[in-house]
């Protein structure tokens, strides 16, 4: 990171912290944002930290800590509409290309220790709850809505938005999708390219396929590289 990037990052971070937080919190600079992140609709209280300790750079967003060889632009975005809110319960590292959109009165809750690889996307119109110590591969999509309404012959909406729950210590593989109404229990792995569409019940399981199904239970996973 060159000196120009560092200066621009600090300017954007200072501005965003002071837009969102009261002075006593803003001076701690809990958000460290890349200048490539486009912030829209942010105002006082739209992002909250629910933790006993608030420190500089708890939320790192938009930086290029991505898989080696992964290609793509640096642009990232956070859009918060009306009374939408994002709650962080500890440290978070949302890498380059992150895209988050929160609708009016919707809420995203994110546990401590999340890391997302490049170009992940979260779309929330109701409620998305993400546990602690999550790890997401690149191009993961989490969306609690179909995006557009579908009507029956009596003009009733038949595809209501439904909340999503992702547990603690979950690894979501690259190119995967977690869609409305899905529940991913603690300790699970979502295999690369899988689509989770329903409430799963098995803890510590591997989910694979479209729609994703349990293919192995009683597993654990390690956040680092293979041991040599």
Report the share of the chain in percent with pLDDT over 70. 99
* Alpha carbons 189 and 197: distance in angstroms, whole number: 15
pLDDT tens per residue across span 86-134: 999 999 999 999 999 999 999 999 999 999 999 999 999 999 999 999 9
Per-residue model confidence (pLDDT) at position 228:
63
User: Which residues, 6+ apart, have CB-to-CB distance to 150 below 8 Å?
Assistant: 157, 158, 159
At 69, the pLDDT band (50, 70, 90 cuts) reads confident
User: Does the structure show a pLDDT above 90 at 82?
Assistant: yes
* Alpha carbons 121 and 64: distance in angstroms, whole number: 16
Please identify which of the residues 148, 201, 227, 228 carries the catalytic annotation: 148
Tell me whether residue 36 is one of the annotated catalytic residues.
no
pLDDT tens per residue across span 131-151: 999 999 999 999 999 999 999
pLDDT tens per residue across span 6-50: 999 999 999 999 999 999 999 999 999 999 999 999 999 999 999
H or E segment to which residue 8 belongs? helix 3-20
User: Which residues, 6+ apart, have CB-to-CB distance to 104 below 8 Å?
Assistant: 81, 82, 83, 84
* Alpha carbons 59 and 77: distance in angstroms, whole number: 14
The pTM of this model reads 0.94
C-alpha separations of 100 from 25, 61, 119, 185 in Å: 23, 11, 10, 22
């Amino acid at each position: 990171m060159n000196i120009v990037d560092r200066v621009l990052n600090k300017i954007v971070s200072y501005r965003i912290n002071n837009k969102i937080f009261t002075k006593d919190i803003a001076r701690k600079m809990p958000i460290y944002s890349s200048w490539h992140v486009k912030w829209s609709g942010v105002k006082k209280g739209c992002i909250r930290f629910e933790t006993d300790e608030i420190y500089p750079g708890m939320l790192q967003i938009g930086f290029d800590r991505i898989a080696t060889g992964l290609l793509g632009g640096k642009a990232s975005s956070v859009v918060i509409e009306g009374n939408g809110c994002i709650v962080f319960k500890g440290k978070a590292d949302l890498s380059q290309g992150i895209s988050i959109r929160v609708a009016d009165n919707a809420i995203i809750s994110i546990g401590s220790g999340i890391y997302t690889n490049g170009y992940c996307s979260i779309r929330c119109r109701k409620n998305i709850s993400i546990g602690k110590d999550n790890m997401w591969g690149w191009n993961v999509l989490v969306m609690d809505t179909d995006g557009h309404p579908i009507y029956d012959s009596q003009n009733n909406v038949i595809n209501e938005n439904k909340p999503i729950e992702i547990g603690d210590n979950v690894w979501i593989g690259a190119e995967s999708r977690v869609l409305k109404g899905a529940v991913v229990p603690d300790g699970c792995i979502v295999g690369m390219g899988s689509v989770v569409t329903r409430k799963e019940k098995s803890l510590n399981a591997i989910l694979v396929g479209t729609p994703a199904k349990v293919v192995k239970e009683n597993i654990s996973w390690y956040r680092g590289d293979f041991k040599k």
